[in-house]
Amino acid sequence: QVQLIESGGGLVQAGGSLRLSCAASGRTFSGLAMGWFRQHPEKEREFVAGISWTGRSTTYTDSVKGRFTISRDNPKNTVYLQMNGLKPEDTARYYCAAQTYWGEHVPRIGYTSWGQGTQVTVSS
C-alpha cells in the first residue's frame, strides 16, 4: 500500500495560481498511475487530472483543460498539479490518488490509495 501526502493548497484570488504536490512512500513509484480528484462540500468526488506511470500520457476533465497541468518526478516519488487561471468554482478539497497500472492509458476510476487532501479556496 502506498502512502500519499498532499501539500500546496491555500487561499488565492481568482486568476491566480497554485501548485499542489503529492509525495508517495511505502512502495516503488514505478507502475503507479496517479490522479488528482476534488470534492466540493455536499458533492461527489470528481476526477480532475491523471498521469501514466511513465509520465508520457495525461488526461484532464474538460473544465480544467488549458489551465491545469499534471506532472510527475519519478526519482522524487512526487506528482504535481499546476493550477493556473483559478476560478471560484475550483474551490474544493483536492486529493491525490494512486493505482497500480502499467499501461499508457490513464485511468479515471479504480484508484485504490488516497491522501488526506489539501484545501484550495479561490476568492472572487
76-109 per-position pLDDT tens digit:
999 999 999 999 999 999 999 999 999 999 999 9
- Give the DSSP H or E segment for 24: strand 18-25
Instruction: Say if residue 10's pLDDT is above 90.
Output: yes
Instruction: Say if residue 117's pLDDT is above 90.
Output: yes
29-38 per-position pLDDT tens digit:
889 999 999 9
Q: What is the C-alpha to C-alpha distance for residues 31 and 62, in angstroms, rounded to an integer?
A: 26
Portion of the chain with pLDDT greater than 90, in percent: 93
Q: Residue 116 region, left (φ>0) first, then alpha (ψ -120 to 50), else beta?
A: alpha
C-alpha cell at 83: 493550477
State which amino acid sits at residue 80. Y
Residue 110's pLDDT is: 96
- Mean pLDDT, the chain, rounded, equals 96
